[in-house]
Amino acid sequence: MAYHIPALLDESIDGLNIRPGGIYVDATFGGGGHSSAILKKLGNGKLIAFDTDEDAVRNVIDDERLIFLNQNFRFLKNNLRYLGINHADGILADLGVSFHQFDEPSRGFSFRDNSILDMRMSRNSPVKAADLLYTLDEEELAGIFSSYGELPAARKVAGAIVRLREKEPVTTATALVDCIGHLIPPGRRNKYLAQLFQALRIAVNDELGALRDFLQQAAEVLVKGGRLVIITYHSLEDRLVKNFMRAGNFSGMVDKDFYGKPLTIFRQVNRKIITPSEDEMERNSRCRSARLRIAEKLV
Q: What is the mean pLDDT of each run of 10 residues along the chain (299 residues)?
A: 80 98 97 97 97 94 97 98 97 92 86 91 95 98 97 96 96 96 94 96 98 98 98 97 96 89 92 94 93 97
Spatial contact of 20 and 39, defined as CB atoms under 8 Å apart: no
Domain match, 19 and 165 both: no
**pLDDT (0 to 100) of residue 269:** 97
Residue 3 in any domain: the answer is no
Domain match, 84 and 146 both: no
The Cα–Cα gap between 21 and 90 comes to: 12
Residue 1 in any domain: the answer is no
Determine how β-strand 66-69 pairs with β-strand 222-232.
Answer: unpaired
**Does pTM top 0.85 for this prediction?**
yes
What's 147's domain CATH number?
1.10.150.170
Domain match, 25 and 166 both: no
What residues are paired with 47 via a beta bridge? 24, 66
Residue 235 in any domain: the answer is yes
What residues are paired with 222 via a beta bridge? 88
- Domain span at 169: 110-205
